[in-house]
């Protein structure tokens, strides 16, 4: 603990590396604790609904 779960779209490994490095720095500084776990969840656009519409349909419009 703390554990951070990030629900977002797909990203590249370079972005994942940066995300984990920077999120961990923020958590460590704000909470003042050393151990941080980050779980990156990549959601395909047809599995995400924003205001009633699939993200995969929005992009077509």
3 binds its own copies (CB under 8 A): yes
56 binds its own copies (CB under 8 A): yes
41 binds its own copies (CB under 8 A): yes
52 binds its own copies (CB under 8 A): yes
| Long-range Cβ pairs for the range 29-38 (8 Å, 24+) | 31/2, 33/1, 33/2, 35/1, 36/2, 36/3, 36/4, 37/1, 37/2, 37/3, 37/4, 38/3, 38/4, 38/5, 38/6
Interface contacts to its own copies, rule CB under 8 A: 1-9, 11, 13, 15-28, 30-31, 33-43, 46-57
């Amino acid at each position: 603990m703390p554990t951070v779960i990030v629900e977002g779209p797909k990203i590249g490994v370079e972005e994942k590396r940066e995300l984990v490095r920077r999120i961990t720095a923020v958590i460590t500084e704000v909470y003042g604790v050393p151990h941080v776990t980050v779980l990156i969840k990549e959601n395909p656009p047809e599995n995400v609904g924003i205001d009633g519409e699939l993200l995969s349909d929005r992009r077509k419009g």
